[in-house]
Structure 1
Amino acid sequence: MTQDEVEYEALPENSPIFASLLAGAFAGVAEHAVMYPVDSIKTRMQILQPTPQAVYSGVINAASRISTTEGARTLWRGVNSVIVGAGPAHALHFATYEFAKDAFGGNKAGHHPLAAAGGGACATIAHDALMNPFDVIKQRMQVHGSVYRSIAECASKVYKAEGLRAFYISYPTTLTMTIPFQSIQFATYEYLRKVLNPSGNYDPMTHIMAGGVAGGVAAATTTPLDVAKTLLQTRGESKDIRIRNCNGLFEAWKLIYQRQGLAGFSKGLQPRILSHMPSTAICWSVYEYGKFLLTRESLDKQPIMT
């Protein structure tokens, strides 16, 4: 076998973790940073009891009103939190995924959706344990009227007022959402990638298309869980005593249903899909490109086998 016959999908045995860590870190930062303004709009649209100034009819309406009344920079408030957290969290995420997928038999020939889904589930448990506090800070800074000037100030004030629990009150709900989200996303992505590109050679368009569809499907499916997560992560900013004392997924769902009915569970669906489709496409594209480059560099240093 020559160097050209080695598929980049199966990373060289001497550097799988390093390649996955580095590629995953770049992918995570790219994913979150590019689509951050849409994520900010999604958070505001999911707030259970918004201020009158923060009630929007759609994504375009929200972007226009926020930009004109608060300044365009407001849409980027809190982005530093996800940039700081996304690198190491996604590095851990993809390294765990590659290890688990291989352990479950996902790198064998053919389609293995259960292996990909299982790898995605393992990856998200590790990722969310590290990322959850950063996500709480991000959403606290995204809400209308946020007074926090930096992520350090936000973290300090939230900790002093609500304790360490505030950063992990949503963790069980986050896992309840992200495990199916990542399982659906990874299984859909791996299936489409192999259907669109049976040869397994590096093909950017395949990763963009498969990643975009996978992200959109996973986002739409798990939106009701995301609405509950937003309520739990921003509860400390509410003046409503029931929201401030909400302690878990089912209590959050009950409150959402009482206040907004079934429609409340689809709040933020449009911006959630709009943000996840391109961000997931970007994430997978950057990740696969990183693997491709790192694998080529590794192979270039190895003697050619005939």
Structure 2
Amino acid sequence: MCWFFFLEYYSFAHCVAGGCASIATSSIFTPSERIKQQMQVGSHYRNCWLAMVEIISKGGFYSLYAGWGAVLCRNVPHSIVKFYVYERLKQVMSSLPSSVRPNTFQTLLCGGLAGSTAAFVTTPFDVIKTRLQTQIPGSVNQYHSVFHALCKIGNNEGVRGLYRGLTPRLIIYMSQGSLFFASYEFFKSLFSLEA
């Protein structure tokens, strides 16, 4: 019973740590994501600086944070799901015969499944973030908030609209998850941080 409580606390701690890290990184990287999105849809931007200046001149400094709510709705659950699934799969791998701790292949597998699971769960918010960050200010089909975009896309395009781009996203995050957690475990063992 005590061991089960420790495992649950351990999983909870990973989820909280991953979620908090996502809040911090989302706060810092949302403006660069906004600039990138605008440059991808607007061919008239010659460089990042000009894109940023135009975004600020049209909507003020806070317009750099357009879609921040959607970024949080995507990144926080993504980190929580990714770390939770990874830790759970690692526990399953450790319980297999002849497995004290997962080998490199098992780590890659667990990381890939964790990354793709997180990508599947959060794809609707990735779609919403992209729509919010690429819309033209003052346009007729303006999205006003994350919830408004969720409802509007869901009503007009259905579930398929909320999952646009799912396949490449699964491929990206399966690869990213595998490499992320393999590197994570490698450096953890290199610096002797195993409990």
Give the TM-score normalised by structure 2: 0.81
Supply the distance in 2 between the matched residues of 1:290 and 1:142 (Cα, whole angstroms): 35
Q: Which of structures 1 and 2 has the larger relative contact order (alpha carbons within 8 angstroms, sep 6+)?
A: 1
- Give the equivalent residue in structure 2 for 1:242: 141
Alignment partner of 1:157 is 2:59? no
Assess if the C-alpha contact under 8 Å between 1:121 and 1:183 holds in 2: yes
**Structural mapping, 1:124-163, within 5 Å:** 124-143=22-41, 145-163=42-60
Alignment partner of 1:178 is 2:178? no
Supply the distance in 1 between the matched residues of 2:108 and 2:39 (Cα, whole angstroms): 30
- Give the equivalent residue in structure 2 for 1:67: none
- Give the equivalent residue in structure 2 for 1:221: 121
SS of residue in 1 equivalent to 2:43: coil
SS of residue in 2 equivalent to 1:216: helix
**Aligned pair in 2 of structure 1 residues 248, 214: CA closer, same or farther (>3 Å)?**
same
Stretches of structure 2 lacking an aligned partner (at least 5 in a row): none
> In the TM superposition, what is the alpha-carbon distance from 1:165 to its structure 2 partner?
1.8
Moved >6 Å (runs of 4+) = none
> In the TM superposition, what is the alpha-carbon distance from 1:199 to its structure 2 partner?
3.2
Alignment partner of 1:255 is 2:152? yes
> In the TM superposition, what is the alpha-carbon distance from 1:241 to its structure 2 partner?
2.5
Supply the distance in 2 between the matched residues of 1:135 and 1:254 (Cα, whole angstroms): 23
**Structural mapping, 1:197-216, within 5 Å:** 197=94, 199-200=100-101, 203-216=103-116
**Aligned pair in 2 of structure 1 residues 154, 190: CA closer, same or farther (>3 Å)?**
same
> In the TM superposition, what is the alpha-carbon distance from 1:207 to its structure 2 partner?
2.6
**Aligned pair in 2 of structure 1 residues 290, 163: CA closer, same or farther (>3 Å)?**
farther
Alignment partner of 1:113 is 2:14? no
- Give the equivalent residue in structure 2 for 1:44: none
**CA-to-aligned-CA distance 1:203-251 (integer Å, 9 cap, x gap):** 4323311111001111111211211111111113x784323xx221111
**CA-to-aligned-CA distance 1:32-76 (integer Å, 9 cap, x gap):** xxxxxxxxxxxxxxxxxxxxxxxxxxxxxxxxxxxxxxxxxxxxx
**Aligned pair in 2 of structure 1 residues 256, 200: CA closer, same or farther (>3 Å)?**
same
> In the TM superposition, what is the alpha-carbon distance from 1:200 to its structure 2 partner?
4.2
- Give the equivalent residue in structure 1 for 2:184: 287
- Give the equivalent residue in structure 1 for 2:163: 266
Identity %: 30
Give the TM-score normalised by structure 1: 0.54
**CA-to-aligned-CA distance 1:11-50 (integer Å, 9 cap, x gap):** xxxxxxxxxxxxxxxxxxxxxxxxxxxxxxxxxxxxxxxx
- Give the equivalent residue in structure 1 for 2:66: 169
**Structural mapping, 1:10-49, within 5 Å:** none
Tell me the number of residue pairs that the alignment of Structure 1 and Structure 2 aligns.
184
> In the TM superposition, what is the alpha-carbon distance from 1:278 to its structure 2 partner?
0.5
Assess if the C-alpha contact under 8 Å between 1:169 and 1:247 holds in 2: no
> In the TM superposition, what is the alpha-carbon distance from 1:292 to its structure 2 partner?
3.6
> Over aligned residues, Cα RMSD in angstroms?
2.6
Stretches of structure 1 lacking an aligned partner (at least 5 in a row): 1-107, 299-306
Assess if the C-alpha contact under 8 Å between 1:140 and 1:234 holds in 2: yes
**Aligned pair in 2 of structure 1 residues 225, 179: CA closer, same or farther (>3 Å)?**
same
